[in-house]
Structure 1
Amino acid sequence: MADTAATATPETAGATDDGIRRRDFLDIAAVSAAGIGGLAVVYPLVSQMAPSKDVLAASSTEVDVSAIEPGQAIKAVFRKQPLFVRRLTPTEVQEANDVDVSSLRDPQTLEERTKEGHGDMLITMGVCTHLGCVPLGAAEGEVKGEFGGYFCPCHGSHYDTAGRIRKGPAPKNLEVPEYEFTSDTVVRVG
């Protein structure tokens, strides 16, 4: 017995028969505790950046467009913001297509702003691209501006029937959100 104590080195002190030292166990336990503690701190910080349940629930909106007559527009809500859905008349479609796109501040054709096969349905966010006011023109009797589309009463931006900026301080056209027709009468936005 005295012979084994004499041959013990600092590296083998406290080692068991299978070569594991008590210090190795303490090192593993300390690193594991630090990792769990780190996760306990980081998880709430990361999870609080995720969207809330009410935002996820409003991440898409379905709109029934079957009752919208040509020349009529409706307002809906998408992600807590107004959404304009307008069915253009054949005359409005022709007027929008006749505009020289190169003369526009934010050049886009009506075809680029609508879905194929539904060129008469214009879906835009109802938020002016200048400072975020809600333009008029979607409801019956509202001022539609000089170009028959939308008029922002805050600073005087005028949009045409295709939601393109034509006059005023707004830098861009009304935004067209991601959307798809799930049937001939239902549109899913988002």
Structure 2
Amino acid sequence: MSWSDAQTYCRSKYTDLSTVRSLEDNKDIASLLQSLISLKDLVPAAWIGLHRNFWMWSDASNASYSSWADKQPDMGGSKDCVKMKIDDHTADWSTESCSNAMFFICYSDVRVSALRSVKVRLSGGSVELNDPALQDAILLQLQQKLEAAGIREEVKLRWRKQPDGKVFHRAPPTGWEEEPGIHI
């Protein structure tokens, strides 16, 4: 595909065209490129996300790392996009016309997720806490408080039901050994 078609494809299926921020990234992508393309006996070259818009990555971040081949980047003509090419186990970059059809490498963000369990203790009142509408209202308030505190990442709140199917349990009278709690 052309560079812009490859970018569109990567953005629709993954995150974006590959971004190389370090020598380690360059080696990883080169290794992937070498293994994929050598299976088909083709020239090991592919679009990466760098392009000449002040040499920025497709995701609009600055290019602080580079691995240009000799006499590159070629500033002549309309060679505004960058390919990675494997020669003798080196991964060098060179400019290419963006309209040329070429293999390409996409990347996908991998987000680490964690499950957290929090005990909540509510006091006072005689309202039925196992009413689904009330539980939804409490979750909404908790979500709003997280957002107000600047926590806007992908936080999903949910109630954890106990073996009896209920979320909330009334606390036993004080003096009992077990500490009751509500889990979310």
- Tell me if TM exceeds 0.5: no
User: Which of these two proteins has the greater Rg computed from alpha carbons?
Assistant: 1
Q: TM-score, normalised by structure 1?
A: 0.24
